[in-house]
A and B are shown apart, each in its own frame.
Chain A
Amino acid sequence: MSENSLAIRKFSDLANPTRFLALADRLLPWLAGLTALFFVVGLWLSITTEGDYQQGETVRIMYVHVPAAWLSMMCYSVMALAALGTLVWRHPLADVSSRAAAPIGACFTFLALVTGSLWGKPMWGTWWVWDARLTSVFVLFLMYLGLMALNRAIDDPARSSKVSAILVLVGFVNIPIIKFSVEWWNTLHQPASVMRLDGPTIDPEFLWPLIVMAIAFTLLFFTLHVAAMRNEILRRRVTALRRLAARAAGRGARTQ
């Protein structure tokens, strides 16, 4: 195949796994490099900025906690979009995308829970409270794990894709609950301070490292996601080749 035929001309060309693989190979080094750059800057900013007069040094946990929490929700939204793609447009890569995103989302959610816990111990005096925000994030974590278990339990992707897409969409109900839990219920967790209609209420001193870290985390997500999708496509090709090998072996023996 010539280099030209691999070029992506239309959006629908992305549906072709071969083209996607070619694109992923070209994109991944850039994405990875950019991610590393933003992380270097972001971490440097996080460490060099001054601590909060109330929270002290623990405020630095926020530079990891907040982006991880955002990403845990964004990852699920990506999965929900992919699930729509599977059910409505029957896009062959949509299921790959959804399946590849679940473990990444679980990792970000776990990171958010752990960092939140580490911050909560000195600040609130306990590792964990069952308030609306924390509980709904924990439920999100369980949902990620459940989806991973479901994907593992059905080894034939053709059968599992629709089922898991439906489950992803049903579970999407949880995302608005997490987002607005801090406003709907009176909880220990503080309300949103960056993404607000009337502008951020956070001091610029903390805002800049947070934004850089958020961009770094988002880039990290896309790097991991594209790489995981590539692996998933290759894994499916290996499976298909193995099935083919099994059939070919039968045919060979018959002609002996």
Chain B
Amino acid sequence: MRLMAEGLSAKRGEDLIFNDISFVLDASEALVVTGPNGSGKSTLLRVLAGLLRPESGHLKLENGPPEIAHPSELSHYLGHRNAMKRELTVAENLSFWRDFMGDSPGGRGATLAEAVEAVGLPDIAHLPFGYLSAGQQRRMAMAKLIVAYRPIWILDEPTAALDAGADRLFADLVKAHLGKGGIVVAATHQPLGLDRMKELHMTGFEHLAGDHWHDA
């Protein structure tokens, strides 16, 4: 499987956020997106997840399942918000997402017990999600990544609320996913300690302002 982006650019409202971003990711490869605040990391990830339409350029998937219309259908997206309901228990939340998402072709999701074990919180799956601390909530949101199988993970600042121990735990999750032939795109400042890692440094709009507006 190979994920290719060619000449992506995106706007928010009237503002051009980034321009002409291209990369190629093969199976077991990770792309780490870095850059200062406001450089468009989140926007790029939302374009990859199919939540924003790119202004130009396109996203392609090669050697993937034939019936897929957009790579986002094979992707997990972990944004700033956890997509979990405070009123429901952790187990109810996770089993809902597992049933609702289903597995992509070529893999199987973990059971609930395995998933909460993998994020190091096996004892509190029966509690309402709202009772958990911010860090615990983030870890449970990561458990969502493995209850339903998706080959591509798109992660936006996944470790923002986590302490050092949970950081390691997360790095292990990513490594295990890459080891199984997955693709990871993450905006993070945390060193993941990966072998096959590409880096995309985003510079922000100031840099692009000149060429875009004067060309147009």
Contact = CB atoms under 8 A, between A and B. Distances in A.
Interface of A: 242-243, 245-247, 249-250, 252-254, 256
B25 to A, nearest CB: 32
Nearest to A254: B165
Contacts of B165: 253-254, 256
Nearest to B166: A253
A196 to B, nearest CB: 51
The 3 A-B residue pairs whose C-beta atoms are closest, nearest first, are: A249-B124, A246-B131, A253-B120
Nearest to B126: A242
Contacts of B132: 246
B127 A242 contact: yes
Interface string B125-139: 001100111011000
B127 to A, nearest CB: 5
B121 interface: yes
B139 to A, nearest CB: 8
8 contacts: A242-B131, A245-B123, A245-B124, A246-B136, A247-B133, A249-B121, A249-B123, A250-B121
Report whether over half of chain A's contact residues are helix, strand or loop; otherwise say mixed. helix
A246 B116 CA distance: 13
Nearest to B163: A254
Interface of B: 120-121, 123-124, 127-128, 131-133, 135-136, 163, 165-166
A240 to B, nearest CB: 10
Given A246-B136, A254-B163, A256-B120, 7 more contacts: A243-B131, A246-B127, A246-B133, A249-B123, A249-B124, A250-B136, A253-B120
Contacts of B136: 246, 249-250
Contacts of B135: 250
Chain B contact residues: helix, strand, loop or mixed? loop
A242 B128 CA distance: 9
A70 B131 CA distance: 41
A123 to B, nearest CB: 47
A106 B12 CA distance: 53
A246 B89 CA distance: 12
A252 B122 CA distance: 11
Contacts of A242: 127-128, 131
A247 B121 CA distance: 11
B133 A250 contact: yes
Contacts of B163: 254
Contacts of A254: 163, 165
A149 B127 CA distance: 23
A253 B123 CA distance: 11
A175 B135 CA distance: 49
A61 to B, nearest CB: 42
Given A246-B132, A246-B133, A246-B136, A253 B121 contact: yes
Contacts of A250: 121, 133, 135-136
Contacts of B166: 253
B180 to A, nearest CB: 24
Contacts of A253: 120-121, 165-166
A163 to B, nearest CB: 20
Nearest to B125: A249
A101 B136 CA distance: 37
A242 B132 CA distance: 10
Contacts of B121: 249-250, 253
Nearest to B130: A155
Nearest to B123: A249
A245 B124 CA distance: 7
A250 B135 CA distance: 8
Nearest to A253: B120
A251 B174 CA distance: 24
A242 to B, nearest CB: 5
Contacts of A246: 124, 127, 131-133, 136
Nearest to A255: B165
A254 B135 CA distance: 11
